[in-house]
Chain A
Amino acid sequence: MYIPTTTHVSPLATIRRERLLPQPGYVLVGEDERVEPTTIVAKTETVSRHFFYDLTVRLAVKAEEAQKFLRVQQGIAVEKSEVIAVRPTMLGFSSKRVRAPLKGTVVEIKDGKVLFAATGPEYEIKAGFPSIVSSVNAEWGVMLETTGALIQGAWGSGKQEYGVLKMLVNDPTQPLAAELLDESCKGAIVVAGTADEKAVRLAVKVKVRGLILGSMSASSIRMTRTLPFPILVVEGFGKRIMTSHAWTLLADHNGREVFLDARPPDRWEGRRPEVIIPLPPPGGMPPLPADGQPLDEGKRVRILRAPYTGAIGTVLFIPARMQTMPSGVQTYVAHVELEGGQGEVVVPVANLEIFE
């Protein structure tokens, strides 16, 4: 029994996603509460940086005396420029002072040295998409639930956005062309077959909110880190054409609001970059996407490597013995009937993922 990864390109599913803080904080919503994409569901305080002040030097006092010159209590917040410690000099006509460099707190005083923690911006987590809070994990965050279409991708540049989906080209082989990027793309999550760096920079100029591409060159990865918007790559790197299933699903919802989660895949968290298109359920709740299924006859699969990269098909049978590939590698294989009448091919099972 071989258990490959599963990629979901589903027109309708129940989707549950956690929104967790990196450290304990406050959850701002309750169970069963309806939240919008911009609803802040949890937040926590952060420290921007620390400052050390050696009072034995700054105030010219002995370490054991330093405590008595402190003007603030340890652990109590102070404002920027507020005096932390002071020692009168010249019979009280002058003084040596240490002021708070920023808003923050004296967190430690030891051996005449003060450690000051400057308060950083609050770290907030937004819901990202309209949903219901299905459960609350006190101090950490929430589980959100919605129904909708789900398109899992291969790679994401980072960041999340919510915006209107805009199919900019007519078929998945077409690249993002400069002449197509105009004011109508402002604030939209734009879909194209691929994009070179020049087109991506133009997309920055017209202020798109995100890009969904079939593939792009891996040499552009570095550039994407500096972009103000996320890019999601559905198939992978190189010249890979977005599968018609994903393309059609996106096209069917052209003009609808979608959630683009382009955080890079995390194998330990089991997280994939994805597009969620919130949709009302037609009747009862649709099923949750199933992961961890064994590869078996009748399963729909996608081929991950050459020579049939991206092709979709159905497993006909899985021989019990290993076979030798043209590379000379001996491996277990599956016979796959490709969609579109393209015939039967033999593929290493390791090069297949379940596609549903």
Chain B
Amino acid sequence: MTTAPTDSILAADIGSITARVALFDIVSGEFRFVASGEARSTAEPPFSYMGEGLHQAMEHLKILTGRTFMDDNDRLIMPIRMDGSGIDAFAASASGGKPLRVALAGLMPNISLASAERVALSAHVIIVDRMGLGDRRKPERQIDDLINAKPEVVIIAGGTDYGSQGAVLKLADTVAMAARRMREGTRPEILFVGNAALHEKIKDMFTGLCDVGVAENLRPVLNEENITSARRQLARVYERVRLGTMAGYGELSQWTTNGVTPNATAFGNLVHHMSQTTDSGKGLLAVDVGSASTTLAAAIGGDISVTVRADLGVGHSAAYLTPSIDRLSRWLPEAYPDGEVRDYIANKSLAPATVPYELRELFLEHALARQCMQNVLQSAAWPAKLKGIPGLLPSFDTIIGSGAVLARAPKPGQAALMLLDGLQPTGIVTLVLDSHSLMPLLGAASALNPVAVVQALDAGALSVIGTAVCLVGDGRPGQEAVRVKATVGDQKIDRRISFGSLELIHLPPERDVKVSIQPSGAFDAGFGRGASKSITIQTGAVGLIVDARGRPIGIPTTADKRHGTVSKWCANLGEYSS
């Protein structure tokens, strides 16, 4: 890590839809987020050159700030000049390009193969084949399938450190045999993350055939998982194989001190950084719902898990949600004729950059976002230290929502509703919004100047939506689930919230307010069933949200009743109006 003496930082993120730059500068002695500029990403055809979109985003930022960043020769001005033009440091992240095609080879399906899958899902990849001891395919079929899958990387895992070697070598030999049958130039890179005693043998096996990278064993002993080293190594492979081959990468890379960080890694880095710098008993969860992919990062005390689903998104990847149409439609507050949802999803995939003009389409867009979050949870990996109720989302005290669908929600309450429905947290949670889409940029900048990132966060680079009390428990509709009391100045608040409802208690914005949470006997607000507590909450933009819908959220099955219930939730919290 390089920590440069910097007074101003320009951070950039090149995504599949948007190229974004953000300026961080010292204001009153501390780093602040100043402004961000954006343009349509040009990483994909017809430009296939990420530099064009970046230049346009800088032009936008120039209009907003009056500051010049590029010289007459289209070169970044660095360091800052006497006339105020330029910047001191530049950081960048990028996610453009196809997901990396990754095949997994491991021994036990629930052990090394499962760990390898968690490593793979920490980057922008699609898993194209899985090979293991539980595999019922004949070896020749495994070879055919691996060749046809056209992997760019094969992650080979298995064996405890210095344990038995035969099975792993046999597995690697099958991979090598398939690689020999692939044409030169199309052979995958090998990432070996198994028994450490085999590093040299594996390198020898693939000499002259495939590039081999090694990382620490995912399972140094059977009951211990260590994916940090492998995750970092995979991020490097992604950067080299995918980002490194994109036009404009070289220019972008030259400007940075620390290289171009893959978007998901930058996102994870920031969450990791935040979890280290906040003294939280519970964890921090961040979700980035993008056009092409959805990323989930969960951290506690510096221990982090990142899950990237390159097939889940509200734009390019929307069509992959078609099989989830019934579940997605649960979130709609009104009836849509047969086929309309399916047509909408298919059209959105074809024109991913488009935005909802009518309220009816906004409901659909927000339903897509909820379902992306629901689906990413199915593949999520969690840090071991996280606690919670089995079968439900682990306990977090902060949840951050990122991605345009959340950040651009017309009302902060709508973003809160998407997060509550999509993730279904439990207990007391502060909901935060990455309203300027800064997280990957801050993550990339954190490697450059961590202090600047901390100060920018403290100064409000992310915005608090409000605090949610999410009750776990079951009851009769209308039965009191919780009583909430608070005193704000002269105003005394005493509300009884019934089971099945979602209520917003308006409190003065951007304040810390002490509230008393008193759940009924059957309900748990994170302190134990029926246990009460007085806590200080951040009111943020909307106030205190009481989610007494139970976990998982009970949604009526009949259409009329469901539409009535969901529209009430939308009205209470989302303030949807045309």
Q: Is the CB of A107 within 8 A of B181?
A: yes
Q: Is the CB of B143 within 8 A of A270?
A: no
Closest to B173 in A: A110
Report the separation of the CA atoms of residues A137 and B172 in the bound assembly, to the nearest whole angstrom: 35
Report the separation of the CA atoms of residues A353 and B354 in the bound assembly, to the nearest whole angstrom: 10
Tell me, rounded to whole Å, the shortest Cβ–Cβ distance linking B332 to chain A. 14
Q: A52-B138, A270-B45, A328-B362 are in contact. Are A221 and B346 (CB under 8 A)?
A: yes
Q: Does A225 contact B (CB under 8 A)?
A: no
Q: A1-B59, A154-B350 are in contact. Are A327 and B44 (CB under 8 A)?
A: no
Q: Is the CB of B177 within 8 A of A115?
A: yes
Q: In the complex, what residues of B have CB within 8 A of residue A218's CB?
A: 322, 339, 342-343, 345-347
Q: A221-B346, A237-B347 are in contact. Are A268 and B358 (CB under 8 A)?
A: no
Closest to B139 in A: A52
Q: A219-B339, A267-B45, A328-B362 are in contact. Are A304 and B355 (CB under 8 A)?
A: no
Beta-carbon contacts of A292-306 to B below 8 Å, as 1s and 0s?
100000000000111
Q: Does B48 contact A (CB under 8 A)?
A: yes
Q: Is the CB of A291 within 8 A of B44?
A: no
Report the separation of the CA atoms of residues A24 and B183 in the bound assembly, to the nearest whole angstrom: 8
Beta-carbon contacts of B357-400 to A below 8 Å, as 1s and 0s?
11111100000000000000000000000000000000000000
Q: Does B42 contact A (CB under 8 A)?
A: yes
Q: Does B140 contact A (CB under 8 A)?
A: yes
Q: Is the CB of B140 within 8 A of A328?
A: no
Report the separation of the CA atoms of residues A237 and B318 in the bound assembly, to the nearest whole angstrom: 14
Tell me, rounded to whole Å, the shortest Cβ–Cβ distance linking B318 to chain A. 11
Beta-carbon contacts of B24-56 to A below 8 Å, as 1s and 0s?
000000000000000110101111100000001
Report the separation of the CA atoms of residues A66 and B356 in the bound assembly, to the nearest whole angstrom: 68
Q: Is the CB of A325 within 8 A of B48?
A: no
Q: Does A238 contact B (CB under 8 A)?
A: yes
Report the separation of the CA atoms of residues A218 and B325 in the bound assembly, to the nearest whole angstrom: 12
Tell me, rounded to whole Å, the shortest Cβ–Cβ distance linking A325 to chain B. 5
| A221, A348, A350, A353 interface centre (most CB from chain B within 10 Å) | A350
Q: Is the CB of B144 within 8 A of A328?
A: no
Report the separation of the CA atoms of residues A110 and B139 in the bound assembly, to the nearest whole angstrom: 14
Q: Is the CB of B343 within 8 A of A117?
A: no
Tell me, rounded to whole Å, the shortest Cβ–Cβ distance linking B348 to chain A. 9
Q: Does A251 contact B (CB under 8 A)?
A: no
Which one of A43-51, A123-131, A162-170, A278-286 is at the interface?
A: A43-51
Q: Which of B39, B357, B410 contacts A347 (CB 8 A)?
A: B357
Report the separation of the CA atoms of residues A107 and B346 in the bound assembly, to the nearest whole angstrom: 44
| B47, B139, B350, B578 interface centre (most CB from chain A within 10 Å) | B350
Tell me, rounded to whole Å, the shortest Cβ–Cβ distance linking A256 to chain B. 28
A227-267 residues with Cβ-Cβ distance < 8 A to B are: 236-238, 265, 267
Q: Is the CB of B355 within 8 A of A219?
A: no
Closest to B150 in A: A22
Q: Is the CB of A23 within 8 A of B357?
A: no
Q: Is the CB of B357 within 8 A of A269?
A: no
Q: Does A307 contact B (CB under 8 A)?
A: yes
Closest to A320 in B: B63
Chain B residues packing against A (C-beta within 8 Å): 39-40, 42, 44-48, 56, 59, 97-98, 138-140, 143-144, 147, 177, 180-181, 183, 186, 316, 322, 339-340, 342-347, 350-351, 353-362, 408, 410-411, 576-578
What are 9 A-B interface contacts by the 8 Å CB criterion? A47-B181, A49-B144, A154-B350, A155-B346, A236-B347, A236-B350, A237-B343, A238-B344, A328-B410
- Knowing that A6-B46, A155-B350 touch, tell me 10 more A-B residue pairs with CB under 8 angstroms: A50-B144, A52-B138, A107-B181, A108-B180, A115-B143, A238-B347, A267-B316, A292-B42, A304-B351, A328-B578
Chain A residues packing against B (C-beta within 8 Å): 1-6, 23-24, 47, 49-52, 107-108, 110, 115, 117, 154-155, 217-219, 221, 236-238, 265, 267-270, 291-292, 304-307, 324-331, 347-348, 350-351, 353
